[in-house]
Amino acid sequence: MRYVDEYRSGKIALDLSQRIESVLEPGRKYKLMEVCGGHTHTIYKHGIENLLPPAVDLIHGPGCPVCVIPMGRIDDAIAIAERPNVIFTTFGDMMRVPGGNGSLLEAKARGADVRMVYSPLDALRIARENPERETVFFAIGFETTTPSTALTLLRARSEGIRNFFVFANHVTIIPAIRAILGSPDLRLDGFIGPGHVSTVIGTVPYRFIAESYGKPLVVAGFEPLDVLQAAYMVLLQLAEGRCEVENQYTRVVREAGNPRALEAIAETMELRTTFEWRGLGFISQSALALRVEFADWDAERRYDVPGVRVADPKACQCGEVLKGVIKPWECKVFGTACTPERPIGTCMVSSEGACAAYYNYGRFTRRLETVAT
């Protein structure tokens, strides 16, 4: 693939992993968090973890939009989807996430008209093609996917489409990082910053991480060499005693982000006072709702959304796993009540969650380590 293969060179990877080794302080352990689920995916897909020295631990952060949706919101989504005249549209991987009352896939099996789409514009097209029915788009994701929802709303308004509704669940990354940084038991040394989010918000919003919390952050792209190079850049900062926000993904990310995307978001959405995150609990000003000017397209205003609150089970310790405080196997329900087939908590839901990965691959990883030592 043109423009892609050059970011997947095994030879350069080997060179980078040797350079990483050379900047480590002997005997010190390093914990780096990749905030974004897309990075976690790259790390697994290309086997990056075993290209890193054993002293470097990668902690999978809260940036998987599927993982952070609380169970109650899934139940709300199902309640909307099960209304008789509704076509409920959603991204594919949301269909399997369990709420307190099963998943959208199960709702579909019970008869709800749930359809997978690749973009909110597909949902708008479905609305256009089915004027006698109401099409709802389950809008989720960080700043990466928010602009496309915003632009779709603007188009719905300009085309006068009145049978299209957005169930807004967009979340913002900065409050989530702040919540993690504010934890008294934080064990992280630095961050690999989310590349796609940063194309929208730029790099400036991360400065407080370096300035107030003394942790370096490097914004990274999604090819395996991007992630490996970003890890090197964070570790180099630590070795040189620097603490800055750096941009590895300069081919895409600008310091000021994408003003047009930010404008579209600001025109259509506003911050909610508070929003619940799976595993992290309620975080103030961490999610977006439609502005009152878009009330006619707002699923929450249109339907009587139950607003179910389903607390994560008390024994579930996703929050601590996300912060790197405990290992997945130290969680009380890990592997017993909580498994990939029947997940309870955030980290077991997505196949890239820390717990699911450890559940599936743990025995293999541990065996490798035992052989190596």
Q: Does 183 bind other proteins (CB under 8 A)?
A: no
Segment contacting other proteins (CB under 8 A): 2-10, 236-244, 260-268, 297-305? 2-10
Q: Is 361 left (phi over 0), alpha (psi -120 to 50) or beta?
A: alpha
218-257 residues near other proteins, rule: CB under 8 A:
224-225
Q: Does 46 bind other proteins (CB under 8 A)?
A: yes
Segment contacting other proteins (CB under 8 A): 95-103, 157-165, 243-251, 308-316? 95-103
* Amino acid sitting at position 91: F
- DSSP structure string for 250-270: TTT--TT--HHHHHHHHHHEE
Q: Does 266 bind other proteins (CB under 8 A)?
A: no
CA distances from 353 to 62, 250, 328, 350 (A): 9, 28, 10, 5
Helix (H/G/I), strand (E/B), else coil: 141: strand
Segment contacting other proteins (CB under 8 A): 78-86, 96-104, 161-169, 264-272? 96-104
Segment contacting other proteins (CB under 8 A): 31-39, 237-245, 254-262, 304-312? 31-39
**By C-beta, is 70 or 224 nearer to other proteins?**
224
Taking the CA of residue 213 as centre, how many other CA atoms within 13 Å lie in the half-sphere pointing to its CB? 22
Bridge partners of 168, per DSSP, are 139
Backbone φ and ψ for 37, nearest 5 degrees, come out as -60, -30
54, 109, 273, 282: which one binds other proteins (CB under 8 A): 109
Backbone φ and ψ for 185, nearest 5 degrees, come out as -100, 25
Interface residue list for other proteins (CB under 8 A): 1, 4, 8-10, 13-14, 17, 36-38, 41, 44-51, 64-66, 91-96, 102-103, 105-106, 108-110, 116, 118, 122, 140-142, 144-145, 196, 224-225, 327, 329-330, 334-336, 339-342, 351, 359-364, 366-367, 369-370
